[in-house]
Structure 1
Amino acid sequence: MGRKMKKNTEHLVIICFLIMINSCLGRFVVEKNSLKVTSPSNLKGIYECAIGNFGVPQYGGAMGGIVVFPKSNQKGCKPFSDDEITFKPKPGGLPVFLLVERGECFFTLKSWHAQNAGAAAVLVADDRIEPLITMDTPEEGTSEEDYVRNITIPSALISKTFGDKLKKSLSKGEIVKINLDWRETVPHPDDRVEYEFWTNSNDECGPKCDAQIDFVKNFKGAAQILEKAGYTQFTPRYITWYCPEAFILSKQCTSQCINHGRYCAPDPEQDFTVGYDGKDVVLQNLRQACLFKVAKENGKPWLWWDYVSDFAIRCPMKQKKYTKECADQVIKSLAPKKPVPEMTCVDVKKVDKCIGDPEADVENPVLKAEQEAQIGHGSRGDVTILPTLVVNNRQYRGKLVKNAVLKAICAGFEETTEPSLCLTPDVETNQCLENNGGCWQDKASNLTACRVSTTTLAYSSGHLHCQINNGGCWKDTRGGRTYSACVDEHTHGCKCPPGFKGDGIHCEDVDECKEKVACQCPECKCKNTWGSYECSCSNGLLYMHEHDMCIGNGNGGSGWGFAWMFILALGTVGLGGFAFYKYRIRRYMDSEIRAIMAQYMPLDNQVEITTHILGEEN
């Protein structure tokens, strides 16, 4: 027993050295979103809150709700009994944001209890005056890890000062309404998102490793689609530590490090006498980084996802297959079944050359670059949480699952430039789906006052009611063409579209040919189609739809000449109009740009640098 404790103590001492040296080089940045109080009037304003590193933050969207502070169990460390209280919104009411106090238990446990009681989000009020911190998940090896994966609601830490104001207002019986806004959390400078996935090849670190492997498998398809289409630029990253010079020759460092203590990783089993060592993890991390480097040089960086997911399945530590031989077999399997000259695959020899000699007393350029990338620059702090992502130079906070990560990546696109993958119901944030956003709704006619906007959280009568059961109006699809009677503008209601007749609830096709509303010229031939009609001319004449007439005399000469002269004249007028339009637009844009630059140029020299610390509730 004493020998085992001594080994564990030695292990912890050396790891503490590694972590302390690494963390002192830079800083940890707390990622924030804005919280806007809309009522009561004495609390109106915008406040900062720190995004929790669990649950599903609604990146790219916003949520509206009312704040509730429980009369008992105010720290949220015990389950909320259904008999005592529920935080599910009443019909037609706003979602509930549960306010709890910090202390006594893990942040995640507070969120878990709130979620089970029906809360839509959790606000944790700090219990001390300090800068905002990031609420993290429990340490590895605790029983609390079992439920963390199942937390789906967002959470945020607010300052003690703001929390006290909320509690005071609620104690007076006032209704506190707030909006949580994540839309500007991820910057979107252009039409391509650059993101890094900070990961590790270790598969013996418990639930975190299992979640990481599951994420790679589930996210692989989406990642490869985005990368192949040029929507994203992805880079895998690996955290490494280095050994203090005084310990380089110790058993701990020689078993955990390569290249004479320059690049290290913790022992997977936290026991130096069994299983794989930390240096095995470092070598596999390096192999994955080198595979990405070679695949990227060949124009196929997305092969990294195939390799990592296949390696996790075929080469696990538990089966003693976490080896170079197994890794090489996985790399070779990435080649196409029928090699084609232009389809270059990953060359194992190039990967080995990139890895180099792990026993040499020299720097490895790939791992050195990884260590440098770990240190934060500008608005991005040091990467100290694993696994995680950095999206457009902002660190992701939240659960490592496909849809949650996609929300963050999609939030990095400029509006209207996002790929179709970002417009699916699973990814788009729609607060109207949660109890209709707490807005007015007429279920009989499917009219609603809730409106989702990509630029502002707003509510407007009648807008977007067609998204709910098509507003109760007629809708039909034939031959790949869809018509709807739902009107989604200020004059909301049901109205049959042109080409159809009825009351809007039931519509039928209008036969324009029988009702003599089209193709009325003597030479015209009319053919009815679903929702429209087609006109043609007899004797080889040309039908002019705008004028409902046939031109030409059938002899092929003067008639066609007139037609072409007519078309040419229309084209000339159109080009002239376009040129004038372009000139006006250009002058307008120039003036707008000058106005914007004049307004914001004075701000260029103002740089805001905020430093915070990482915290976890115990």
Structure 2
Amino acid sequence: MELRTFHHHLLQGFMLLSLISNCYARFVVEKNSLTVTSPEKIKGTHDSAIGNFGIPQYGGSMAGVVVYPKENQKACKSFDDFGISFKSKPGSLPTFVLVDRGGASAVLVADDIEEALITMDNPEEDSSSAKYIENITIPSALIEKTFGETLKKAISGGDMVNVNLDWREAVPHPDDRVEYELWTNSNDECGVKCDMLMAFVKDFKGAAQILEKGGYSQFTPHYITWYCPQAFTLSRQCKSQCINRGRYCAPDPEQDFSSGYEGKDVVIENLRQLCVFKVANETNRPWVWWDYVTDFQIRCPMKEKKYNKECADVVIKSLGLDAKKIEKCMGDPDADMENSVLKEEQDAQVGKGSRGDVTILPTLVVNNRQYRGKLAKGAVLKAICAGFEETTEPAVCLSGDVETNECLENNGGCWQDKAANLTACRDTFRGRVCECPLVDGVQFKGDGYSHCEPGGPGRCKINNGGCWHESQNGRAYSACLDNGDVKCQCPPGFKGDGVKSCEDIDECKEKRACQCPECSCKNTWGSYECTCNGDLLYIRDHDTCISKSGTEVRSAWAAMSVILIGLAMAGGGAYLVYKYRLRSYMDSEIRAIMAQYMPLDSQGEVPNYVSNDRA
């Protein structure tokens, strides 16, 4: 039997939102892209509907070859019965067939009537079909009848049909935080579906809490309820399944109104779990919800008759939650009035924007897009990780069991500097990106594919700026010089081009050092060592030797001292001569001036001349 169902098939092991709303529920078909890459005559991109079973490769894509079997074309029986195997051989492209009953990598289901795409699901609720669907671990997609006929015709004509299934845009990924919600139920007696849900919550708890504690996600639990039509609020069925006078109802867990737990018990525990989340969220510990629901499943199961308030209170106390706040949040289930918490849940069931109404339980919504596929840890984590903007994914999304690190093979085709152990390849959940790195505060610039070059200050820290560098005997030298522009110049003590090589200069051989008579020179790598004879001390700055006591002058110091003394004496003599001559000159000038007005001791009396002018 072909595995598909219509959108009006809304019952998934739980009661519907209401008996009336089935006709009006807005069910959104979640799609992915399917591209035919060959043969040329049918190349193109088409929509396909993601099945509600199997494991879609959210955030990724898969290329393969389409195979249309000559026998068992509707896959009503196992292909093993026909001796057919679709398992891909090592090195070959994955095989895409209609259904997974022989080891294929993906299943394409061609519709048998002309209609809009629908969401495939298991058509029956018996345990055998549910377990069969649970074992499907490959992605599935429904394609339109016309497109399916085109593929069949090409294959029957001998063409090799290559296609690419792409889920990279199946989940919006606008920023570095994912918002997701799980529509769940506390009922653990609804059969295979409930068992699958309980197992998922326990298995996913660890990953969910890592995401939440790290601030990478915002998780919100939700619970579906339906309301009893007003004409039946006083009926036995509504009284046993509803609280608040028929406003909030759940199906009877055992489908037996005369024994066991009632639907209203489920509604009350659902309400309690909602309030646990709200109270935990108020204390900035929203992840405690996962602890409560998993502990409640283990400690308070219906089968052991522990599904009650007393057992719930024990779990609440063990987690350090405020029981009084939770009771206040829950309100009075017998009151003839709306419950604000459950009313909010009923409003949230209605789809907003691109999201359809929540009509199937369990339902996972990631970034306002309903998840399709198997409710399993690895599959759900893929969908959540696909909701992060590229390069912002937390480490849990890059683990080996979630995605493949494409940078490990051929460096992802990106630029790399093997000598400096640098690469532009950056692994993300959707695949690698080639992005020049930031290393030790130095930003590399380039296209990330063929080249990346360091820019800004500090470039000599990165592989010595591409210049020569070497270490010997605990000493390290680099030819990198950064004065705004990096250039390669051999350091003092070396000679060469500064890029490929710098050779040591033998200062002793080239007589660049230790030239004093008492000096002995020894060349070292990048430098030299000078020693003095006897008890003399070498002064490197002056290239000379002096006595360690400082009382005797040797070599150049003695000569320098004589010169200095000589210069001092010559300067002093010149100053005395200059001073004597200047003084003599000044004295003669002063005497000449004074002689005009008074006789000096060395002169006679000056005669008094009378003018011949008459008055």
Q: Tell whether the structures are fold-level matches, with TM greater than 0.5.
A: yes
Indicate which of 187, 206, 209 corresponds to 2:194.
209
SS state at 1:318 partner: helix
Within 2, Cα distance between the matches of 1:251 and 1:522? 99
What SS does the aligned partner of 1:143 have?
helix
Structure 1 match to 2:349: 374
Match of 2:35 in 1: 36
- Partners of 2:378 and 2:301 lie apart in 1 by 26
Q: 1:457 to 1:328 in 2, by over 3 A?
A: closer
Change (3 A) 1:195 1:455: closer
Give the C-alpha shift of residue 515 in structure 1.
Answer: 12
Q: For residue 274 of structure 1, report the CA deviation from its aligned partner.
A: 1.2
What does residue range 267-286 of structure 1 map to in structure 2 within 5 Å? 267-286=252-271
Counting only pairs closer than 5 Å after superposition, residues 514-593 of structure 1 correspond to structure 2 as 518=477
Paired position in structure 1 for 2:210: 225
On the 8 A contact 1:238/1:370 being kept in 2, the answer is yes
Find 1:147's aligned residue among 119, 132, 142: 132
Q: Which residue of 2 aligns with 1:27?
A: 26
Do structure 1's residue 79 and structure 2's residue 54 form an aligned pair?
no
SS of 1:225 mapped into structure 2:
helix
2:401 aligned with 1:426: yes
Match of residue 337 from structure 2: 362
For 2:163, the aligned partner's letter is: I
Quote how far apart the aligned CAs of 1:234 are.
Answer: 0.5
Greater Rg by CA: 2
Separation of aligned partners in 2, 1:87 and 1:396: 27
Which of 117, 120, 123 lines up with 2:105 in the alignment?
120
Specify the code of the residue in structure 2 equivalent to 1:74.
Q
Residue 554 to residue 378, structure 1, CA distance change in 2 (3 Å) = farther
Relative contact order: is structure 1 or structure 2 higher (C-alpha 8 Å, sep ≥ 6)? 1
Tell me if 1:236 matches 2:211. no
Name the stretch that deviates more: 420-429 or 243-252: 420-429
The 5 A counterparts of 1:487-506 are none
The alpha carbon displacement at 1:243 in A equals: 0.3
Task: Pick closer, same or farther for the CA change 1:275–1:549 going to 2, 3 Å.
Answer: farther
User: Shift of residue 521 of structure 1?
Assistant: 6.9
Query: Helix, strand or coil: the match of 1:326?
Result: helix
The residue aligned with 1:159 is 144
Aligned-pair CA distance for 1:498 = 8.3
Structure 1 gaps, min length 5 = 1-11, 101-109, 336-345, 437-450, 464-487, 492-496, 500-509, 525-547, 556-618
AA aligned opposite 1:351: I
Work out whether residues 391 and 408 of structure 1, in 8 Å CA contact, stay in contact via their aligned partners in 2.
yes
The aligned counterpart of 1:332 is: 317
Change (3 A) 1:286 1:516: closer
TM-score, normalisation: structure 1: 0.65
**Cα distance in 1 between the residues matched to 2:407 and 2:26:** 39
Question: Is the CA contact 1:22–1:241 (under 8 Å) kept in the aligned structure 2?
Answer: no
Segments of structure 2 that go 5 or more residues without pairing to the other structure are 1-10, 411-424, 435-447, 452-461, 479-489, 495-525, 529-538, 542-615
CA contact (8 A) 1:51 1:157 kept: yes
Secondary structure at 2:354 match in 1:
coil
* TM superposition shift of 1:453: 8.5
Instruction: Provide, for residues 102-161 of structure 1, a one-character-per-residue CA deviation record: whole Å limited to 9, x for no partner.
Output: xxxxxxxx43x1xxx220000000000111111113443332122322221000110001
Q: Given the alignment of the two structures, is residue 398 of structure 1 paired with residue 373 of structure 2, yes or no?
A: yes
Q: Deviations over 1:578-599 (max 9, x none)?
A: xxxxxxxxxxxxxxxxxxxxxx
Query: How far apart are 1:202 and its partner, in Å?
Result: 0.2
Q: Find the aligned partners of 1:193 and 1:554 in 2 and give their Cα distance.
A: 67
Q: 1:124 to 1:429 in 2, by over 3 A?
A: farther
- Secondary structure of the residue aligned to 2:18 is helix
Asked if the contact 1:52–1:154 (Cα under 8 Å) also holds between the matched residues in 2, the reply is yes
Q: Retained in 2: the 8 A contact 1:294–1:350?
A: yes
**Which of residues 228, 250, 268 in structure 2 aligns to 1:265?**
250
Evaluate the alpha carbon distance shift between residue 549 and residue 142 of structure 1 in structure 2; reply closer, same or farther with a 3 A threshold: farther
Percent of aligned pairs sharing the same letter: 66
Q: CA deviation at 1:457?
A: 8.5
Measured in 1, the distance between the counterparts of 2:313 and 2:430 equals 51
Name whichever of 246-255 and 76-85 sits farther off: 76-85
Instruction: Describe how 1:467-486 pairs up with structure 2 within 5 A.
Output: none
Q: CA, structure 1 residues 233+517, in 2 after alignment: closer, same or farther (shift >3 Å)?
A: closer
In proportion to residue count, which structure has more helix?
Answer: 1
CA contact (8 A) 1:39 1:177 kept: yes
Cα pair 1:63 1:431 within 8 Å, conserved? no
- What secondary structure, in the 3-state scheme, does the structure 1 residue paired with 2:28 have? coil
Alpha-carbon contact 1:62-1:457 (below 8 Å) kept: no
Structure 1 residues 147 and 549: CA distance shift in structure 2, 3 A: farther
C-alpha distance 354-16 of structure 1, shift in aligned 2 (>3 A) = closer
Of 299, 318, 327 in structure 2, the residue corresponding to residue 352 of structure 1 is 327
* Cα gap change, 1:86 to 1:359, in 2 (>3 Å): same
Alpha-carbon RMSD? 3.5
CA offsets, 1:226-275, max 9 Å, x none?
11111101100000000011110000000000000000000000010111
In 2, Cα distance between equivalents of 1:421 and 1:62: 20
Deviation at 1:378, TM superposition (A): 1.1
Confirm or deny that 1:416 pairs with 2:375.
Answer: no
Letter in 2 for 1:229: G
Q: Could you tell me which residue of structure 2 aligns to residue 61 of structure 1? A: 60
Q: Is the CA contact 2:393–2:428 (under 8 Å) kept in the aligned structure 1?
A: no
Q: Is the 8 A contact 1:215 1:402 kept in 2?
A: yes
> In the alignment, which residue of structure 2 is the partner of 1:176?
161
SS of equivalent residue, structure 1 residue 137: coil
Provide the rounded CA distance (Å) in 2 between the counterparts of 1:124 and 1:299.
46
In 2: Cα distance, 1:452 partner to 1:523 partner: 42
Name the aligned partner's letter for residue 361 of structure 2.
L
Partner Cα separation in structure 1 for residue 135 and residue 315 of structure 2: 32
